[in-house]
Amino acid sequence: MSHTSHPEGVFSVSLRLSKPSRAHVSVAKCREIGGMWMAKRGRKPKLSIARAKQALEKSGSIRTIAAKMLAVHRSTLCSFMNKHPSLQAFADDIEEVLKDDAEDQVIKAIRAGDMPTVRWYMELKGKDRGYVRRVESTGSGGGPVEVQQKHDLSGYSDEELEQMLAIAEAREKREALRKSEAHREGKAALTREQMPGQRGS
């Protein structure tokens, strides 16, 4: 048996057998020989629906993994699937089967008493029964959340920053003085109320 290659990439197979009755070669055998010849020439096997289905089934319909198994780029596989709707439907069926398997594992975990899975399931499926995760965002003491906006000070000079700092310190001193005076006034008022002679006034 010998191979003859042509510039167009077409090859022919010639058989030299002693008996003419054995000269029949099946199509599958020719394809096998052709694949071996292409591998020796450094060419990738042609993408087919059968090979794509096998890769999708083994990879769980994950396109990237299936493409690596087929030795092609992911975009090539996706383009091939778009051209063959039956292949896309096959991949969708695999995904549905995986969803069924995942749900089966969730049910098994719930029946086994896995509480994290139970809580997760009820938060998703048991909302009509009051199983809703409640998230509250409050500030200190249950008050509103205070948001402080941060300013970009990179564009100010050192002199401007010093002036801003002095203004902020003066503001803090005035606020502290105001609170101190209010505290003294409140304390004095409380003292007057406690004095017997001042109760009727």
Q: Please report whether residue 146 resides in a domain.
A: no
Supply the pTM of this predicted model: 0.43
pLDDT digits (tens, 9 = 90+) for 50-67: 999 999 999 999 999 999
Q: Is the pLDDT of residue 113 over 70?
A: yes
Total domains present in the chain: 2
Distance (Å, rounded) from C-alpha 125 to C-alpha 121?
6
Burial class (CB in 10 A: 0-12, 13-18, 19+), 190: exposed
Residue 24: which pLDDT band, with cuts at 50, 70 and 90?
very low
Best-predicted range by mean pLDDT (26-30, 120-124, 195-199) = 120-124
Q: Please report whether residue 58 resides in a domain.
A: no
Q: Which of 28, 43, 58 is the last residue of a domain?
A: 43
Q: Please report whether residue 169 resides in a domain.
A: yes
Q: Please report whether residue 5 resides in a domain.
A: yes
Distance (Å, rounded) from C-alpha 136 to C-alpha 146?
14
pLDDT of residue 123: 83
Amino acid code (one letter) for 103: E
Q: Please report whether residue 94 resides in a domain.
A: no
pLDDT digits (tens, 9 = 90+) for 147-196: 665 566 667 777 877 787 888 888 888 888 888 888 888 777 777 776 65
Q: Which residue segment(s) compose the domain that 176 sits in?
A: 163-191
Q: Please report whether residue 50 resides in a domain.
A: no
Q: Please report whether residue 149 resides in a domain.
A: no
